[in-house]
Amino acid sequence: MNTIATIPHSRAELPCQPARPSGRRGFVSRLVRVVGSLARWIDNVLEHRRSRLALLEMTDDQLKDIGISRCDAHHEGLKPFWD
């Protein structure tokens, strides 16, 4: 048996199988993705809430310019943040 044949190959060196992150790094990368996704969702919800509150502060002329009645603006502005 020659020397090269006795050297064990690690998973990362095998050409057909992609290298997998270790358990801890895989967990951390998934956790980072989940936290990032949650942060984007919260940002989106807060942006919708700010937009709805802005409708409540608009004058009748401003609402007329965008084609919304005062009643519609009031109804939209009072919706809960999750809706």
For 51-67, what is each residue's pLDDT tens digit? 999 999 999 999 999 99
Tell me if 49 is assigned to some domain.
Answer: yes
Quote the pLDDT of residue 74.
93
H or E element in which residue 24 lies: helix 23-57
Tell me if 67 is assigned to some domain.
Answer: yes
Helix (H, G, I), strand (E, B) or coil at 41: helix
Tell me if 69 is assigned to some domain.
Answer: yes
Quote the pLDDT of residue 6.
60
* Structural domain of 39: 27-78
By the 8 A CB rule, do 45 and 81 touch?
Answer: yes
Tell me if 40 is assigned to some domain.
Answer: yes
Q: What tokens appear for 38 in the block?
A: 């949650």
Burial 59-83 (b: 16+ CB within 10 A, else e): eeeebeeeebeeeebeeebeeeeee
Which residues of the chain fall short of a pLDDT of 70? 1-23
Quote the pLDDT of residue 82.
75
Count of structural domains, the chain: 1
Tell me if 57 is assigned to some domain.
Answer: yes
Tell me if 18 is assigned to some domain.
Answer: no
Quote the pLDDT of residue 23.
67
What's the pTM value of the predicted model, to 2 decimals?
A: 0.58
Tell me if 31 is assigned to some domain.
Answer: yes
H or E element in which residue 46 lies: helix 23-57
Quote the pLDDT of residue 61.
94
Tell me if 53 is assigned to some domain.
Answer: yes
